[in-house]
Chain A
Amino acid sequence: MKLKCSIALATSLFVSTISHAGFYSTTIHSRANCINNESITWFKDHYFNWHVISFHNYDVNHPSKGYHAVDTGKVYTWRAAAVCWGEAAPGGSYFVKGFHYYIDRGHEILDNTTEASGCGLDKGWWD
C-alpha cells in the first residue's frame, strides 16, 4: 500500500474537522482508520511553538518495528498536524497515539496525549 505522510502546517485543511477546530483555545485530537491516521493540535490563527509526534501502530507482534511515527518537529504555527494520508481504510486496526507538546518561551509542556482506533472526533486518551 503506497501512502504519503506529511507534516502539515497552517494549511487550508479546514474541512472535515471544522467542528472540532479550536476557535477560542487550543484543541487536540487523534483519529485512526479514517483514510488518514493523524494527530493534530490547533488554535485557529493563533501561533505557537508546537511539536506533535503521532505514532501509527499496526503490528502488535513486533511493536518495536510495527509502527511508524510522524514527527512535526518544533514548528511555529496555528495548526500542527502529523498526518499520514491514505494510510488506513475505515474499519482497519491502526492504533494512533499522539503526543502534543507546547514550547512556551522555552518551557516544555506536554499539553495532552491522545489516542484513537476509530475515526470519530471524540477520541482522546481513551477510545
Chain B
Amino acid sequence: MKKLLVASLCLLPTVNHAITEAEKEIFRAENIRVLKEKGYMTPDSGVELVPRAALRATHNVAYTKPNKEGYYNESSPRAHELLHFKEVIRGYKTLEAPMNKPYESHMRYSIDEMPMAYTLIGVPQEVITEFIGIAPSGAYLDDPIQHVKGWSGAVEFFKTSFATCAYTESNLYVSHGAARIAEEEATNDVNGKITLIDTSGNPETGYLYRIKWFDNFFIRELECANMTYSIQIKEKVINLANIIDKK
C-alpha cells in the first residue's frame, strides 16, 4: 500500500459567504479553461477516435498487444470474482445490512429499487437465465432545479447461457463524461458504434471477455466470465452486447 503523498502546504483566505449559481458558472468556466490548457478532456466533449500517440501525450500508458490467440495471458481477478459472485455478495452482507438510502451503494435485488437519474436501459430479460442483482455506478445526483435525482449509472449482474456477466452503463448526459479512444484498437462490432474488445485471464482465474462501446448518450461495458477461452465465447459476448445495445 502506497503511503500518502503530501502534495502541498498552503495558505488560503477564509471564505464564508454562500456561493451563488452565477459564481459557480464563473468557476466552472475557469476550471474547464485550465483543463483545456493542460490538454485534458473536458465535460461533454464527446467520444472521439484519435491516434494512440495523442493519448500517450497526456497519460503516458504504453499499449501492449494481446497474444496470438487473441487474449492477455494474465490473471483476471474480475473473472474470478464474477465466477464466484454470490460469495462476493455474502462477504458484504454484514456491511450492507444497515444500508437503505438511495445514495448508498449496496446491492439491490430488483431493477425497480435502483434510483436512477435517467431511464435505465439494462439487459433484456430474454437473455438472462438468472438475475443476480443491480448496484450503483458513477455519481449520485440530487438537483431539484434540474430535476435530476439518482445515479448516473448502474451495474447489472446476471447469468446468461454461456457465462456470468456484469453490464455497466453510464449516461453521458448525467455524468458529463467523454472519451478519447485510440483508433488503432477501435472496432465497430456493436451496431457500428465505437467498440473496444479485449479478453484476459488464465486457467486459474478464468477468462474475462470485455466489450466496451460508446455513442452520444452512453458509455457501456459488458464483462462476461467463463473458465475457458474460446473464439466462440468471444463471439457470443459480442452478440450479447449487440442485443443489449438494441434494447
Contacts and interface: CB of A to CB of B under 8 A. Distances in A.
Contacts of B145: 126
Given A20-B104, A24-B107, A27-B139, A92 B16 contact: yes
Name B's interface SS: mixed
B136 A22 contact: yes
A112 B4 contact: no
Given A68-B12, A87-B12, A93-B16, A125 B138 contact: no
Nearest to A98: B139
A10 B1 contact: yes
A60 interface: yes
Interface in B128-149: 133, 135-143, 145-146, 148
B2 A113 contact: no
A108 B55 contact: yes
Interface residues of A, number: 74
B191 interface: no
B175 A113 contact: yes
Interface string A105-127: 11111111111010011111111
Given A63-B26, A99-B40, A23 B96 contact: yes
B105 A95 contact: no
B44 to A, nearest CB: 9
Interface of B: 1-2, 4-19, 23-24, 26-31, 34-35, 40-43, 45, 52, 55-56, 58-63, 77-78, 92, 95-96, 99, 101, 103-107, 133, 135-143, 145-146, 148, 152-155, 157, 168, 170, 174-182, 185, 196, 198, 212, 219
Given A104-B196, A108-B179, 19 more contacts: A5-B6, A5-B9, A19-B103, A22-B137, A23-B92, A23-B105, A24-B105, A24-B133, A24-B157, A69-B34, A95-B23, A95-B24, A105-B198, A106-B61, A107-B55, A107-B185, A108-B180, A110-B178, A113-B43
